[in-house]
């Protein structure tokens, strides 16, 4: 298998966490989409010029982080499942992954983009809406985690693969320390070997990206 990725990308990190959880053998291929020539060549593999992309051993090309994780779960069935076998638990894990992606990651991106605007142009109604939805979503996660080790129960799932990079990057623009269950959960995530490895690999690239911002940022929590 080949994985085309960038170490700081939250979507690539989701897939990397899954790969490390599965202890899968793969060839990592770095992609710099900011380089025009690299981007042009990469579109021959992924016409959308998005990362990550996984090429299977049968040369099938897979886009979208959640689809790649589902493929890994099907391929490596003798390893701990990232999508539960129980149908109700599987639906909840997928639902939580979607909530994280749409409302938390989407809100994070909106808040981050807002910090890169001149101060007088910040806080428009679409940003306020995105923040409200984000806060609703993290409150839901905090409630779910009251009696759970991981988001969908006692087993690590696709929802946790999504949550690890999203919640780590959320701290750049939003402080959620007022949510104790979520805060404790993030500490558990960061101590999990697969997550720790991925975050370590992506840290340098992320610091370089933050250093190049028009309006520099620091972690808010």
If one counts every other C-beta atom within 10 angstroms of the C-beta of residue 172, the result is 17
Distance CA 166, CA 169 (A): 5
Neighbour order of strands in the sheet with 53-55: 27-30, 2-5, 53-55, 61-63
Instruction: Say how many C-beta atoms besides its own lie within 10 A of residue 215's C-beta.
Output: 10
Q: Mean pLDDT over residues 113-121, rounded?
A: 84
Band of pLDDT at residue 118, cut at 50, 70 and 90: confident
Q: Report how far residue 146's alpha carbon sits from residue 157's, in angstroms, rounded to the nearest whole number.
A: 17
The pLDDT score that the predictor gives to residue 219 is 44
So what's the pLDDT on residue 37? 94
The average confidence (pLDDT) of the chain is 92
Element (H, E) at 30: strand 27-30
Please provide the DSSP assignment of 67-111 as one string: HHHHHHHHHTTTS--SS-SSHHHHHHHHHHHHHIIIIIIHHHHHH
- Position 172 pLDDT exceeds 80: yes
* Cβ-based neighbours of 78, under 8 Å, separated by 6 or more: none
pLDDT at 221: 42
For residue 216, the model assigns a pLDDT of 47
pLDDT at 153 over 50: yes
Global pTM exceeds 0.85: yes
Mean pLDDT across 111-127? 87
What pLDDT is attached to residue 34?
87
Summarize pLDDT for 22-70 with one digit per residue, the tens.
999 999 999 998 899 999 999 999 999 999 999 999 999 999 999 999 9
The pLDDT, as a whole number, for residue 144 is 97
Tell me the C-alpha distance between 39 and 210, whole Å: 21
pLDDT for the residue numbered 115: 83
8 Å CB contact between 24 and 3: no
Q: What is the pLDDT of residues 184-218, one digit of tens each?
A: 999 999 999 999 999 998 777 766 765 665 554 44
Owner of token pair 């960061």: 190
Per residue in 84-103, pLDDT (tens digit) is 999 999 999 999 999 999 99
CB 3 within 8 A of CB 29: yes
- Write down the pLDDT at residue 123: 86
Q: Hey, what are 84's tokens?
A: 């539960």
């Amino acid at each position: 298998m080949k994985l085309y990725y960038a170490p700081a990308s939250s979507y690539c990190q989701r897939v990397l966490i899954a790969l490390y959880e599965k202890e899968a053998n793969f060839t990592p291929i770095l992609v710099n989409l900011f380089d025009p020539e690299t981007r042009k060549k990469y579109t021959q593999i992924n016409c959308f010029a998005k990362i990550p992309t996984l090429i299977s051993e049968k040369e099938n090309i897979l886009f979208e982080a959640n689809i790649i994780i589902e493929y890994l779960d099907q391929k490596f069935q003798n390893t701990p499942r990232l999508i539960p076998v129980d149908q109700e638990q599987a639906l909840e894990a997928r639902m939580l992954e979607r909530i994280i992606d749409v409302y938390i990651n989407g809100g994070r991106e909106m808040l981050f983009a807002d910090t890169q605007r001149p101060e007088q142009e910040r806080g428009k109604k679409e940003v306020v809406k995105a923040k409200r939805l984000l806060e609703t979503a993290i409150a839901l996660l905090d409630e779910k985690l009251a009696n759970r080790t991981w988001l969908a129960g006692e087993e690590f799932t696709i929802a946790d693969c999504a949550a690890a990079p999203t919640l780590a990057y959320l701290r750049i623009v939003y402080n959620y320390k007022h949510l104790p269950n979520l805060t404790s959960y993030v500490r558990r995530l960061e101590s999990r070997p697969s997550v720790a490895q991925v975050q370590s690999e992506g840290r340098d690239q992320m610091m370089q990206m933050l250093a190049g911002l028009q309006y520099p940022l620091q972690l808010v929590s």
